[in-house]
Amino acid sequence: MGSALIEIASPDLAATLNPQGGELWSLRDAQGRELMTDADPAFWTGHAPLLFPIVGRLSGDRYRLGERDYAMKQHGFARRQAFELVSHAPDSAVFRLTDNEETRAQYPFAFALEAAYRLDGPVLHIDISIANRGEDEMPASFGFHPAFAWPLPYGQAREDHKLTFDMAEPARLSPLREGLAMPPSLPSPLDGRILPLSDALFENDALVWESIASRGLRYGADAGPALEIGFGDASKLGVWTKPGARFVCIEPWHGIADPVGYDGDFRDKPGMMRFAPGETRRFAMQVALRRAQGSKRR
């Protein structure tokens, strides 16, 4: 892995962070019970990669920028890069990635991406800043991709776990074809605000909301402690696993995969943000461990 793993803790949570990818690798409660994926290689070895400068796949894993073509793998290169550890305190750590020869070969822009992790009691705060350090406009997308334990380690059955959104989400979902986005056509799988989790939901890849109203959701079973996940101002959401795996990814996105058949300029692709020279934008996510519904909350 290269760099040593970094540990942070609060009285209620402990987290392990990997400078490779600037990635959250583990989140545990006060009794040491794991709240994240077991990263079983039979399914997926990721933990919580940071998706930059694209979310999802490009058509043919390539894009066109002006007169030039570039190759880039799904979800971008940040998750495969070594981040610098900028600061480390008992309850927090900050990592930084800047452009280098390898990134410029596939993305010809000067950038800085900082990932700040902070534990405050039962809440993990993840704050991302992305800056355009160049003199030209910089197109980019960003997404979170954390994989949480399914089931959570509190004795409830896997089939009793569900997502409860802040608001009803009646909009149709966008199916994926070989990782590329198709127009929204799938009926919402929610019953009001509730999505009961099952392997059958993911037989055809991720659930993708191109537009969500909720600013967060609750993940867990009614009878046990649960995770409350805040999205910040993310406009899109992916939920994904592989049938049979012991994780579910809850992914707030600021971007989306190429539409099927897209052949336009990278700067014009759906979900792409444009950073002015010198501009910095911030993206946030929170994960809070809460007691069972009906019990006294912290």
What domains are there in the chain, each with its CATH number?
A: 6-290 (2.70.98.10)
CB contact burial 71-106 (16+ within 10 A = b; e otherwise):
ebeebbbbbebbbebeeeeebbbbbbbebeeebeee
**Confidence bin at 128 (pLDDT 50/70/90):** very high
Q: For position 298, what pLDDT does the model report?
A: 35
Q: For position 297, what pLDDT does the model report?
A: 39
Q: Which of 231, 182, 212, 247 is nearest to 45 (CA)?
A: 247
Q: For position 3, what pLDDT does the model report?
A: 72
Q: pLDDT digit string (tens) for 161-199?
A: 999 999 999 999 999 999 999 999 999 999 999 999 999
Asked if residue 295 has pLDDT above 60, the reply is no
Tokens standing for 218? 């609750």
Percent of the chain residues past pLDDT 90, beyond the cut: 96
Phi/psi for 91 (5° steps) reads -115, 10
Question: Whole-prediction pTM value?
Answer: 0.95
Q: How far apart, in whole angstroms, are the C-alpha atoms of residue 109 and residue 8?
A: 32
**Confidence bin at 1 (pLDDT 50/70/90):** very low
Phi/psi for 49 (5° steps) reads -65, 150
Asked if residue 292 has pLDDT above 80, the reply is no
Kindly report the average pLDDT of the chain as a whole number. 95
Residue 159, sorted as left (phi over 0), alpha (psi -120 to 50) or beta, turns out to be alpha
Tokens standing for 64? 């066109």
Tokens standing for 125? 């705060």
Average pLDDT over residues 214-235: 96
**Confidence bin at 111 (pLDDT 50/70/90):** very high
Q: For position 196, what pLDDT does the model report?
A: 97
Q: For position 294, what pLDDT does the model report?
A: 59
Asked if residue 291 has pLDDT above 90, the reply is no
Tokens standing for 54? 């694209």
Phi/psi for 158 (5° steps) reads -55, -40
Q: Bridge partners of 98?
A: 112
Question: Would the CA dihedral through 222, 284, 150, 183 be positive or negative?
Answer: positive
Q: How far apart, in whole angstroms, are the C-alpha atoms of residue 232 and residue 216?
A: 8
Q: How far is CA 118 from the centre of its chain?
A: 17
Average pLDDT over residues 57-78: 97
Asked if residue 157 has pLDDT above 50, the reply is yes
Q: pLDDT digit string (tens) for 241-281?
A: 999 999 999 999 999 999 999 999 999 999 999 999 999 99
Asked if residue 293 has pLDDT above 90, the reply is no
